[in-house]
Amino acid sequence: MLENEGNPTVNKVTGLPRKRFYRARAHSNPLSDSHFPVPISPSHVDYSLHYPQDFLLSNNSKKIQFADVGCGFGGLLISLSTLFPDTLMIGMELRDKVSEYVKERILGLRVANPGQYQNVSVVRTNSMKYIPNYFGKGQLSKMFFLFPDPHFKEKNHRRRVISPHLLDEYAYVVEVGGIIYTITDVEELGEWMKACLENHPMFEALTEDELGADPVVGLLSTATEEGQKVARNGGQTFQAVYRRIALSP
């Protein structure tokens, strides 16, 4: 008898989880208390749980370099995994059902494609609170914020995942030369994120030539479920891609 036979949450042909069994509310309150384990420091992140094959092969010499904040159902992570097969990356998702789906999706892909998708993982966490618990100074080379919750009401702007205060934390964990990618289909939020990045002293916008040469930029609007929905509906997207720079002396 097949391992997943009789399990309605798994597609018997692909071995991957069925998304409809992992649906959750589109939005969560990032300021509320949640109950999940959080490492007390980056040195306490258990890489062997996230990347068991890579951990055995590299003797834990590698560190996570890409972080997809609010990774949703993991579309970007899956695309990046094969585009950067030697880079460890992680998705950070607050919603428990959604993070469980991504976990099962990755496990299914590893079984169906031996040797692949070993460099990608997911963790259920609140990245607005716990980024410093997962990453050390200058550890990350890329951070992604794709179609974040717009929190339309002005009183809720403090819940936005891009803000002057949070950019201070992101600047700490992103290396000089590292890149922050943002995209949204909400024009007001797009202007907000761009303004926050533009006004921060440790970030500068990529040039049009640099954007065109970056293979990741094209994935921002195509790899995720949200981006695909916007495209189907003929919607417009607003992106801001900025490089971490060193402070002038």
Active site amino acids: 149
> Would you call 96 helix, strand, or coil by DSSP?
helix
The closest alpha carbon to 113, from 21, 16, 223, 3, belongs to 16
Burial of residue 193 (CB within 10 Å: 0-12, 13-18, 19+) is buried
Angle separating helix axes 225-232 and 75-83, nearest 10 degrees? 110
The closest alpha carbon to 164, from 220, 190, 202, belongs to 202
| Cα(145)–Cα(87) distance, integer angstroms | 18
Strand 88-93 to 120-124 pairing: parallel
